Amino acid sequence: MAIAKAERLMNLALCLLGTRRPLTKRELRSSIEAYREAFGAGNGAPGGDEAFNRMFERDKDDLRELGLVIETVEGIDGEVGYLARRDSNRLPPITLDAEEAAALGLAAKVWQQARLAGAASGALQKLRAAGMPLARDGEDYDAGQPHSALEPRIPTHEAAFEPLMLACRDRRPVVFDYRKSNAARPEQRQVEPWILECWRGHWYVAGWDRERQAERVFRLSRITGKVRSRQGKFTAPVPDHVTVRETVESWAGETATGTARIKLRAEHGYPLRSRALTVRELGDGWDELEIPNGHGLDAWLVEFGPDVVVLEPAELRADVIDRLRAVAKG
């Protein structure tokens, strides 16, 4: 779910849970920022009542699908009112066995080095206060269990991760310098960031590139310098579904249309080896691999530099050479 829609649904749920009396569509439209920005406060602003009604009905159905009990009350000054009573939406007491508590604790540790560490720690403290069998910092959950030795982390070594995470959350445009795989120098990009996603150990951000007027995906490790926030709102709508992995897979040739043969230096290129269909030792420190070939494979192979030589097809070999020459000229 896109950040904009998730935020809108959360605000609608909070309004319906926080009210002591049923709220009409008109009141909800004027109270929730996303509705006001898109359709005004019900005073004939662009967008119109019909478009607002369609969005409101979709949002209401989505919340009900997520389990929120929303009541409809007739006759509020001639209008229909809506509310979500707290007693109807109260969760049952949470009970966890030892394994579930251990899994929850491990999940909380994932974010211990990121901005969400405070929220994770607060959640664990509340569960401990309720009597859940959670270990404290530095303790094993159960020294006799296999999971006690696990120490999961989400790798977030890139300095761009935190400012981009906050920009995605707050829907703030950003500016950064970005170096493409076949470019010698970075270029400045003005981006409206939508979502961050990790794929095969690398973090990517998807968003709207203002200069190119198109959706783009950027690898965080190729961002140079600082990510700088900009004033103003997004100029492009945030889609409900962003295909980060699918886009990156197409770059890496995951959507294969054939195969390619390459020479790869021994003890190098493990991401390529993990996808190899066949591997044959050539001697002299080289191996021959057959790998899936698809759109974008040339850009991925360039990243391995002198450790890869393309044997066939000829078109792929030519594309890789052209990219390497472009870098050399820079």
Q: Per-residue pLDDT tens for 298-319?
A: 878 888 889 999 999 998 898 8
Helices 98-110, 117-129: crossing angle, 10 deg rounding: 160
Q: Report pLDDT for 59.
A: 93
Q: How far apart are CA 32 and CA 41, in angstroms?
A: 9
Q: Residue 105 above 90 pLDDT? A: no
pLDDT band at 199 (very low <50, low <70, confident <90, very high): confident
Q: Residue 192 above 80 pLDDT? A: yes
CATH number of 3-83: 1.10.10
Q: Report pLDDT for 255.
A: 58
Q: Residue 150 above 60 pLDDT? A: no
Q: Specify the residue for token string 């989505």.
A: 62
pLDDT-above-70 percentage for the chain: 74
Q: Per-residue pLDDT tens for 11-31?
A: 999 999 988 889 999 889 988
Show the tokens assigned to 189.
């990009």
For 202, list phi and psi in degrees, rounded to 5.
-120, 145
Contact 193, 168 (CB under 8 A): yes
pTM for this prediction: 0.44
Counting Cβ atoms within 10 Å, is residue 220 exposed (0-12), middle (13-18) or buried (19+)? Answer: buried
Between 4 and 278, residue with greater pLDDT: 278
Q: How far apart are CA 198 and CA 156, in angstroms?
A: 9
Find, among 278, 248, 279, the residue nearest to 266 by Cα.
279
Question: Which residues make beta-bridge pairs with 192?
Answer: 208
Q: Lowest-confidence range among 74-78, 225-229, 232-236? A: 74-78
Q: Per-residue pLDDT tens for 59-103?
A: 999 999 888 999 998 876 778 999 999 888 876 776 777 777 777
Q: Are strands 23-24 and 79-83 parallel, antiparallel or unpaired?
A: antiparallel
For the segment 118-129, the average pLDDT, to the nearest whole number, is 60
Q: Residue 152 above 70 pLDDT? A: no
Between 123 and 248, residue with greater pLDDT: 248
Show the tokens assigned to 176.
């950064």
Q: Report pLDDT for 42.
A: 56
Q: Lowest-confidence range among 229-243, 245-259, 270-284? A: 245-259
Q: Lowest-confidence range among 97-111, 282-296, 307-321? A: 97-111
Q: Residue 115 above 90 pLDDT? A: no
The answer for 76, left when phi > 0, alpha when psi is -120 to 50, beta otherwise, is beta
pLDDT band at 142 (very low <50, low <70, confident <90, very high): very low
Q: How far apart are CA 135 and CA 98, in angstroms?
A: 10
Distances, alpha carbon 70 to alpha carbons 30, 296, 300, in Å: 19, 48, 50
Question: How many Cα neighbours within 13 Å face the side chain of 327?
Answer: 15
Distances, alpha carbon 282 to alpha carbons 30, 125, 285, 286, 302, in Å: 71, 58, 7, 5, 21
On average, the pLDDT of the chain sits at 79
pLDDT-above-90 percentage for the chain: 27
Q: Residue 208 above 90 pLDDT? A: yes
Q: How far apart are CA 250 and CA 121, in angstroms?
A: 38
Q: Are strands 71-76 and 223-229 parallel, antiparallel or unpaired?
A: unpaired
Q: Report pLDDT for 140.
A: 44
Between 182 and 85, residue with greater pLDDT: 85
For the segment 158-167, the average pLDDT, to the nearest whole number, is 88
Distances, alpha carbon 60 to alpha carbons 2, 74, 87, in Å: 17, 16, 19
Domain 161-243 classification at class level: mainly beta
pLDDT band at 143 (very low <50, low <70, confident <90, very high): very low
